[in-house]
Every structure is written in structure tokens, then in C-alpha cells.
Chains A and B, each alone.
Chain A
């Protein structure tokens, strides 16, 4: 375990299945407060499901999930004050920005969260203006989201979550399907999160960025945690990476001879929830 701060999320023996198809199978994990955590795993390893449980969108079918020292259950989030406080403290950026950008304009999108919090209008406008400025979106504020590029949509999605200044930020494949410049901007943002006190949990199988964006790596396979530790130690464990389907050997022909001794790390691709 890296870091000594008290956990912001704790999960013990968590199970979750989609219509009988298991997604999490006895997952136990503690996320330290203020850490940048990378959730690594191949497609279907349970990363997206875990993020949705941490965001209180899905609920454990067995086992326990706690956030900020309180049990995270459907019943607990039925209470309006509890729900608003929780939504204020935890933000999730979805993998597909098109499902997250449902408002008619960028301004409305960024203002949606603050308005649901019931904050005074002046405060909403101040926060929205600040978020738009921070993500370079001020000139796009009256544009409909469907007219934006993929990178711009991702920035709007991020701004629409960060405008609430959540203590814990969850990101599902943040660099998926982005062009190199937009992906680089996203990585820069995650690098800047270091030392801010915010807990950042990034689900990814883009291993090229892990060393930059994480203080702690959690490797998942088949719905449970198989390893966790410092990025360098995890990434250098070739057997672990191969076993978790994050690296593989690949055939090459050198000087007419076939080799398959090279390890290859997976790069960024689309990943459905699971």
C-alpha cells in the first residue's frame, strides 16, 4: 500500500453481476485519500463497474462499500441531503462523453451540476465561468455539444464534473479515442492533480500514461484485485502484466527467424463497461 492517509473508499468482498454475468467477484480494496490511483485491467476486468459503484450509481449485490467513512448504499442515497453531499464530493467522468453531454449548450452542461446542488445563481455563474476559463471553453460556451470535436467534448465533460470541485474524481478511460494532442492535454491535467489533495481514480489500459498519472496502481482481473503497488513496480512485473492480459508476447521476424520473446503493453482503445 502506498500512502498513509485514511481511505476515502473502502470495499470488502464486493460482488456485482449484470443479469447473472459476474463483473465484480469478491473485490476488496481501499483507496487512500489524496492519492492518484490507476485502475489497470483488460476489457471486462470490472474497472468501469467499480467506478460506478464508487460513484453510487450501482450498488454492491453483496459485500460492503464505504465512502468517506459512511456505508454507500441505495437506501443512504435516498436521503436528499446525503445524496447532494455525496454528489458534491464525488464526480465521475464517463468514458463516452456523448452520454455525459446531454444539455443544449456547453454553458448549460457545465452549469447542470451546480444548479442541481441548489446553489445561488451568482455562485453558479462564478463557478461556471471559472471552469470554462480553466478548460479553455469560454469561446465555446454557446455551442451545442454535438458540434464539438472529441477532445472538446472530453474537456466539457471534465469541466462539467470539476465545476463541483469534488474531493474524489473518477475517470473512465479518459484518453480513449482522443487524438494525441487532446490525450496529452488530459495527461497534463492528471499530472497537475498531484499534490492537490484530491483523490483521482483513473480506469485505463493505456499503460504509457500510468507512470505519469498515478501514485498507486491497482491491477484487476476477472472482477477482483490481483495486485497493487507503485507504478514502476507493477509495470515492470512482466508476468503480472501478461497474466492480467495487459501485456503479451508477439511474433516477430528478424533476419528470417521468427521470435516471440518480446513483451508488448496494451495501448489505448475503446472499452465497454465491465
Chain B
């Protein structure tokens, strides 16, 4: 979507893109791949464990190894790496890159080059620090995204419950996910309806006012829906403590995968030390 497109078109486009992306995620979880076949509890524990390991490694080679492992896992799980992970990597590179940018210039250490024009020194320690920041962010986000792209959200929730996350937290996550789609659709329809009745372009001030008014209308609808949902829950016996189903068979390959994740984390942390 062009940056110069009218505000309403941009907002509608963003909302529809978010819905499309969610549908892509749903479709990817149904593909027959390595991670899709594992017990969700193993995936939740293993992938989040690796994401935490990423933040603790102190060698760039270990970090690169973990990143490579994440990409191999994505390929083994039949994920379209460029389409599913490319936008994630680019977004993180931009944000973490912006944060890491001053590090090569401000960190004291061995000077390896000078910035053209200004002549400011670039240090090896600073480059290493920036590489760690960007590498850790990219790799940890990749492991977390692998979990989301290969596991139906309901299974992620049940796995969280199985691993001891309180039932109320899990129920809130579940409903939030459920109703995000409803409100994304509602918001997209509201913008489309407004566009269908508009002639000409909005000024930036009018655009902002419209966005605020739409957000207010959506909030009102969200509160009303929330009340209705609560009544629907009470109607079926809810009394403040939701009870959920959870049934995951754990097979030998799940234990093998968990052991593999543990070994990889140990190798990254302590290998070559």
C-alpha cells in the first residue's frame, strides 16, 4: 500500500492484511512438517527454551548456529521462509538496527575503521555488541514465530495450561485471540462503509478525527460484545473458573525433540567454552 494513499485506504488495507496474515498462519499450522507433528507442550517448552538460550549465549558463532538451526527447523516444517519469516526479519533488523546503530561508534575498544566524512572511530567491540543485539533479537523472534506458525493457537493455549500457566490467564488469551478477528473484521467493514460514502480526500486533521471516532465506536462495540459474551458464558454454567479440555499424547519422538532442543541449548551455552 502506497504511503501516499488516502488514510482510509491505508487503514483498511492494513486491517485486511492483518486478517490475511492470520489466515496464512492458520494454514501453515495445518501443514505436515517436523514441528507441526510434535506435542505442543514439547514445542512450547523447547522453542521458548531456545529463545531464552539465545539471550544468554556469549559467542557469535553459537548465536549464528542457533539462527541456522531455526532456519533449518522452518524448512523442515515446510514453512515458506521468505514469506513467513522475511517480513519479521526485516522489521526486527530495522528496529534493533536503529537501537544498535550508535554502539560501534560509542563503545570504546580497538578501532577497526573510521566513519567517512566525520572520521568517527568504529570499534571491534562496538561492532560485536551491535551484532549481538541484532542477532539475539532476530534469532529469539524466529524461534518464537516458529511456535506460532506451526501450532494452532488453541494448542498453544492448552500447552500453556499444561505447563502451569493459570487457567484465567489462558482463558483471557484465548478470548482475546478469538475476538481480535471479530473486531478486525468490524473495523475493516467500518472503514469500507465510510469510504463508500466519501467523495474526495480527507485532510490529515479530518483523517485523524475519523480514526479517533472509529476507534471510539469500536470500543463501544467491544464493551457491548464483552457483556454479551459474559452472559453467554453464564448461560452455560460459567461461575468464574473456566474449565478447559486438555489432551495431548506424548510420543517417543516428542521426548527426542525435547532432548534435541536441550542439547542444542547446552551446546550453544557451554560448547567450546
Contacts and interface: CB of A to CB of B under 8 A. Distances in A.
Interface of A: 52, 55, 57, 80, 83-84, 87-88, 91-92, 94, 96, 98-105, 107-108, 111-113, 115-118, 124, 142, 144-147, 160-161, 164
User: Would you call the interface of chain A mostly helix, strand, loop, or mixed?
Assistant: helix
B236 A104 contact: no
Nearest to A99: B228
Contacts of A105: 152, 154
B152 A102 contact: no
A142 B237 contact: no
Contacts, number: 89
Contact of A115 (B26, B177, B181, B244): B244
Q: Determine the interface band of chain B, counting residues with CB < 8 A from chain A.
A: 20 to 34
B229 interface: yes
A113 B245 contact: no
Nearest to B233: A102
A87 B237 contact: yes
Given A88-B237, A104-B177, A94 B232 contact: yes
Interface in B52-77: none
Contact of B235 (A87, A104, A146): A87
Given A83-B239, A146-B178, A107 B152 contact: no
B32 to A, nearest CB: 15
Contact of B26 (A80, A96, A147): A147
Contacts of A107: 245
B152 A142 contact: yes
B140 to A, nearest CB: 25
B191 interface: no
Contacts of B152: 104-105, 142, 144
Given A94-B228, A103-B178, 9 more contacts: A57-B234, A91-B236, A92-B235, A94-B235, A96-B228, A102-B233, A107-B245, A112-B236, A115-B245
Given A108-B245, A160-B236, A164-B236, A144 B231 contact: no
Contacts of A103: 174, 178
Interface string B138-181: 00000000000000111001000000000000000011011101
Interface in B208-266: 225, 228-229, 231-239, 242-245
Of listed B235, B238, B239, residue having the most chain A CB within 10 A: B235
Those 6 A-B pairs whose CB atoms lie nearest each other, nearest first: A116-B237, A104-B154, A99-B228, A113-B236, A115-B243, A87-B237
Contacts of A84: 237
B182 interface: yes
Contacts of B236: 87, 91, 112-113, 116, 160-161, 164
Contact of B178 (A88, A117, A144): A144
B178 A145 contact: yes
A124 B157 CA distance: 20
17 contacts: A83-B237, A83-B239, A87-B237, A88-B237, A91-B235, A102-B232, A103-B174, A103-B178, A104-B157, A104-B174, A104-B178, A105-B152, A112-B242, A115-B245, A144-B153, A164-B236, A164-B237
A57 B239 contact: no
